[in-house]
């Protein structure tokens, strides 16, 4: 089968009535469940896997892949409206999305998020289609040392998430790395910072920590203020919806750059959406004009960057999954299981004799992303009006959803205590002007950094820094970190000469 034949065969498989119906079912299930904190696409896919046994191959693919492909779109709803992340990929959306909702621009923020999410999904699918033959050798070249240095790049972005007070950001980022070490060491088996508590043996789960850091402080503030989430009258919802779409199209270059960030992060197994949003947000904050003053205060560009990256990374994560059978994320591991159930084995076969299956994935990413975004945009009005509900009614509901979200993540009551602890700490940070995002980034990247560092040392000892790609990346990282200091020194030298 030629490539062009496979392209059209993949589309025909998706558009068959029964397969298309299962795709729509997956979209509805995903959009409903993933909007609830702690109940993400993994839960939905796990529940649907038994059904996959009874379906035709492409019907099962449409159902399972559509649930996974559109999960990041609906995640933004609660992040923007209530500062409660729907999933790990929507944490950075809170930083500008929630302030926009507070300023009466919920409709615009949601519309921008949904539109950029669709654009990112399309971009990621296109990149996957045109780059798979080229990128296969590149993925093979990357080993644990290269992954470790790439994670260092992510940790270095802590300073860009801290506004003007970068020192505070670095302190909180280091604290996040320490927090990430809680639990049993994977190699030695020694408990670290558990204090004999069985709940902490498996480490700190991301969802309760995120809800505690971001949602609980906002709930406390909301209850204390006695006013609704939106401190202003809602702007015209129809015009806000149109404005959000225009914002995404106007900032097309930001969408492309952020989508590229998402695709690249998605290609690295183990990173996924937990960091794609932070990488994209840090990139936008570092490169967009005037971002230092406006990001974190309700800048729509922050929403656009995050949502385009989180959806684009799905295309990137399919590269190692389809090409080498290495799931790009934990959710894709479930999708991988679903593929095996229906007789589709990722690897050389899916890129040669079953190339139509690969292109059915690509078409699913495009079609499902567009349909989901359109459906979400249609329901913006009732969603935006939720920001006008009085706090006496809203706070108990969001608090209950937060508790359920923290518990549902692992069915462990200890996670509720973790959420409450980080809620108090997050409120203290908020009161005293300390940034919260760096702690979360440190928590996300810490385990991956430690794992790749340990593996690199076991394989090469400290000589791993001399590997060509690793050494080049380290030099680039040092130059990036040292440039701000050098810039200040050069400025002082010029002043002294004058």
pLDDT band at 279 (very low <50, low <70, confident <90, very high): confident
Does the pLDDT at position 144 exceed 70? yes
Does the pLDDT at position 269 exceed 80? no
Q: What is the SS3 assignment for 55?
A: coil
pLDDT value of position 143: 77
pLDDT value of position 348: 62
Mean pLDDT: which of 250-259, 275-284, 288-297 is highest? 250-259
Contacts of 411 (CB under 8 A, 6+ apart): none
How high does pLDDT run on average in the chain?
78
Average pLDDT over residues 289-317: 86
Contacts of 101 (CB under 8 A, 6+ apart): 80, 81, 109, 229, 230, 384, 387
Give the count of beta carbons closer than 10 Å to the beta carbon of residue 398: 26
Interatomic CA distance for residues 253 and 360, integer angstroms: 28
> What is the rounded radius of gyration, in angstroms, for the C-alpha atoms of the chain?
22
Is residue 179 within 8 Å of residue 204, measured between CB atoms? yes
Pick the more confident residue, 92 or 34.
92
Pick the more confident residue, 400 or 398.
400
Contacts of 290 (CB under 8 A, 6+ apart): none
Give the H or E element holding residue 191: strand 191-192
Does the pLDDT at position 46 exceed 70? no
Largest Cα–Cα separation, the chain:
79
Average pLDDT over residues 26-33: 80
Average pLDDT over residues 80-88: 71
Cα dihedral angle (191, 213, 369, 354), rounded to 10 degrees?
-10
Of 162-171, 200-209, 447-456, the poorest mean pLDDT is in 162-171
pLDDT value of position 255: 92
pLDDT value of position 3: 74
Interatomic CA distance for residues 83 and 211, integer angstroms: 8
Interatomic CA distance for residues 255 and 252, integer angstroms: 5
Nearest one of 24, 40, 64, 88 to 337, comparing CA atoms: 64
Q: What is the SS3 assignment for 183?
A: strand
Nearest one of 248, 183, 211 to 451, comparing CA atoms: 183
Does the pLDDT at position 369 exceed 80? yes
pLDDT band at 479 (very low <50, low <70, confident <90, very high): confident
Tokens read off for 492: 């002082």
Does the pLDDT at position 345 exceed 60? yes
Interatomic CA distance for residues 325 and 297, integer angstroms: 42
Of 361-365, 379-383, 416-420, the poorest mean pLDDT is in 379-383
Mean pLDDT: which of 18-22, 53-57, 329-333 is highest? 18-22
Interatomic CA distance for residues 354 and 429, integer angstroms: 53
Q: At which residue do the structure tokens 């509901």 appear?
A: 397
Average pLDDT over residues 184-203: 79
Tokens read off for 284: 């936008």
Give the whole-number percent of the chain exceeding pLDDT 90: 8
Does the pLDDT at position 155 exceed 80? no
Does the pLDDT at position 390 exceed 80? no
Average pLDDT over residues 53-79: 82
Average pLDDT over residues 35-57: 69
Give the whole-number percent of the chain exceeding pLDDT 70: 79
pTM: 0.69
């Amino acid at each position: 089968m030629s490539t062009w034949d496979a392209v059209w065969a993949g589309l025909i498989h998706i558009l068959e009535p029964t397969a298309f119906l299962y795709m729509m079912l997956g979209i509805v299930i995903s959009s409903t469940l993933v909007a609830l904190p702690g109940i993400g696409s993994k839960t939905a896919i796990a529940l649907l896997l038994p059904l996959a046994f009874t379906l035709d191959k492409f019907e099962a693919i449409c159902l399972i892949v559509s649930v996974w492909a559109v999960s990041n779109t609906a995640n933004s709803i609660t992040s923007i409206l209530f500062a409660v992340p729907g999933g790990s990929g929507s944490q950075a959306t809170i930083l500008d999305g929630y302030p926009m909702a507070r300023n009466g621009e919920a409709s615009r923020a949601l519309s921008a998020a949904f539109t950029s999410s669709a654009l990112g999904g399309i971009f990621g699918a296109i990149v996957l289609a045109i780059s798979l033959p080229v990128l296969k050798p590149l993925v093979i070249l990357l080993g644990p040392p290269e992954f470790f240095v790439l994670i260092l790049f992510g940790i270095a972005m802590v300073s860009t998430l801290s506004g003007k007070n970068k020192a505070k950001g670095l302190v909180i980022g280091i604290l996040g790395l320490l927090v990430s070490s809680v639990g049993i060491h994977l190699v030695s088996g020694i408990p670290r910072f558990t204090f004999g508590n069985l709940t902490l043996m498996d480490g700190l789960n991301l969802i309760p920590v995120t809800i505690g850091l971001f949602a609980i402080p906002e709930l406390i503030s909301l209850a204390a203020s006695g006013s609704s989430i939106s401190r202003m009258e809602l702007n015209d919802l129809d015009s806000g919806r149109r404005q959000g779409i225009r914002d995404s199209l106007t900032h097309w270059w930001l969408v492309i750059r952020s989508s590229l960030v998402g695709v690249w992060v998605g290609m690295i197994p183990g990173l996924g959406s937990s960091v794609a949003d932070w990488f994209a947000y840090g990139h936008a904050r570092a490169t967009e004009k005037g971002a230092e003053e406006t990001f974190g205060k309700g800048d729509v560009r922050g929403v656009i960057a995050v949502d385009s990256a989180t959806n684009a990374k799905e295309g990137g994560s399919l590269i190692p999954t389809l090409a080498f059978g290495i799931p790009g994320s934990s959710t894709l591991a479930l999708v991988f299981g679903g593929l095996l159930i229906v007789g589709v084995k990722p690897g050389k076969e899916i890129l040669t004799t079953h190339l139509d299956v690969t292109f059915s994935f690509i078409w699913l990413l495009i079609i499902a992303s567009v349909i989901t975004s359109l459906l979400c945009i249609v329901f913006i009005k009732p969603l935006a009006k939720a920001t006008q509900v009085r706090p006496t009614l809203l706070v108990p509901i969001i608090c209950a959803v937060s508790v359920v979200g923290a518990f549902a993540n692992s069915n462990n009551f200890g996670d509720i205590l973790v959420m409450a602890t980080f809620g108090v700490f997050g409120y203290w940070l908020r009161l005293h002007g300390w940034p919260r995002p760096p702690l979360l980034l440190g928590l996300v990247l810490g385990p991956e950094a430690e794992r790749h560092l340990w593996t690199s040392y076991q394989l090469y000892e400290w000589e791993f820094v001399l590997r060509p790609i690793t050494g080049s990346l380290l030099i680039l990282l040092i130059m990036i970190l040292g440039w701000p200091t050098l810039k200040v020194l050069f400025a002082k030298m010029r002043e002294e000469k004058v």
